[in-house]
Amino acid sequence: MSDSAFHYVDGVLHAEGVSAASLAEQFGTPLYVYSRDALTQAYRAYADACAGRNATVHVAVKANSNLAVLNVFARMGAGFDIVSSGELARVIAAGGRAEHTVFSGVGKSAAEMREGLEAGVKCFNVESIPELHALNEVAKSLGKKAPVSLRVNPDVDAKTHPYISTGLKSNKFGVAFSDARATYAQAQAMDHLDVVGIDCHIGSQITEISPYLDALDKLLELVGQIEADGMRIRHIDVGGGLGITYDDETPPAIGDFVTTLLDHIGKRGHGAREVYFEPGRSLVGNAGVLLTRVEYLKPGEEKNFAIVDAAMNDLARPAMYEAFHRIVPVVKRDAAAQTYDVVGPVCESGDWLGRDRELALVPGDLLAICSAGAYGFVMSSNYNTRPRAAEIMVDGERARLVREREEVKQLFAGESILPD
Ligand SMILES: *Cc1c(COP(=O)(O)O)cnc(C)c1O
């Protein structure tokens, strides 16, 4: 949680200048709350370190695709990294530009390629030979040339959770390092493709720089080979993946991370190439919290449960990756703490938000689940026919509703019963 954006004033949690208790009162719970200032500061840390260095930031839309969040970045001149044509539509609706957007993803459909080409995206990050053929065909049908980069799998261990590690041989992502040179040669031979770059993405929640440097060395070695084969690699896309502090992790500062990578590329003699960063989590993760209200306290022989009104459908990360999120009271209470598992109302034992937490609680209390800005709302579902939460953006003293809470009738509006 960004300490400057989320802090206590007289024992009450505030998002910038607004009390979280008043937000819950006004907008109800569960409620996602984002801080414009925290988003801005995280983006600036990247942009300032890139300034004057032929490097650009492409915000990974999948981490948080709310239009207001994307718009905050678009206003600061961000580019975007998308993984579907739905995300492309969001970028455009939020004021972003297709020509500053990179189209990633392992399974782009022909329809998505067409939409990307018609909109004029900056580059397609391609992950397989069949995808190269498909893109070449779509570009031909439109009388265009598609700008492409190959996502190379450098086979480095990002030392993160297996579900969010993507740069190992055993992962589904990218072109195998040993096949990359030949795959580039195939791309070059296709009339409607224009080879412009190289990319990788080795994982997420990475808290060390060394895996990036290992991946970069492999990429740069390839660049030399590809250029010897007559192609020109104009940009190197180093992917996203920088970790954040959920608990006691100590990831490098964003500025140091950017500078170290750029210096490394410069030292290897590749300083003239444009470098793309594709951060997601490190821009939005600690810029958001999820507010929830305690419904019931349920003491047990082995465990005490605090049953809250947010659940795995609102925040899937604990159920999905056993991810840790700090959970703090909205109003600090002077009472003895007890150990609780904080759980939701969904009918699954996996529906927990935090385990073994020391909290002083009574029913009706508000809790903030920290670091919920990335892979939070975007992964939410309607499981158990639960309407998805509202989203709020705080900007100084003001709070704006940036996504309405869903209503139950919306959830089955597209369904119908058999006529007879
Ligand atoms: C998910 C993803 C990102 C962003 O990753 P973070 O860990 O959120 O920074 C960047 N690029 C690609 C290709 C991705 O799939």
Output the CA 73–ligand 1 centroid distance in Å. Answer: 16
Mean predicted confidence (pLDDT) in 104-131? 97
* CA-based nearest residue to 141, from 191, 183, 187: 191
CA pair distance 353, 342, nearest whole angstrom: 6
CA-205 nearest atom, ligand 1: 7
User: How far is 392 from 51, CA to CA, in rounded Å?
Assistant: 31
Over residues 120-155, the pLDDT tens digits come to 999 999 999 999 999 999 999 999 999 999 999 998
* Interacting residues of 190 by C-beta distance below 8 A, sequence separation 6+: 132, 133, 136
Pinpoint the alpha helices (H) of 159-203.
177-188
Does residue 107 register a pLDDT over 90?
A: yes
3-state secondary structure of 46: helix
With a CB cutoff of 8 Å and minimum separation 6, the contacts of 318 are 312, 324, 325, 352, 353, 354
Task: Round to whole Å and give the CA distance between 242 and 258.
Answer: 10
What are the pLDDT digits (tens) for 260-280? 999 999 999 999 999 999 999
Ordered structural domains, the chain, with CATH: 6-35+285-411 (2.40.37.10), 105-277 (3.20.20.10)
Catalytic residues: 347
How many angstroms from the chain centroid is the CA of residue 264? 25
> pLDDT-derived band of residue 2, with 50, 70 and 90 as boundaries?
confident
Q: Which of 57, 281, 283 to mutate for ligand 1's pocket (most ligand atoms within 8 Å of CB)? A: 281
Q: How far apart are the first and last CA of the chain?
A: 54
Residues with CB under 6 A from ligand 1: 60, 62-63, 81, 104, 201, 204, 239-242, 278-282, 374
Q: 394 pLDDT band (50/70/90 cuts)?
A: very high
**Using one digit for the tens of pLDDT, what is the confidence trace for 41-94?**
999 999 999 999 999 999 999 999 999 999 999 999 999 999 999 999 999 999
pTM above 0.85, yes or no: yes
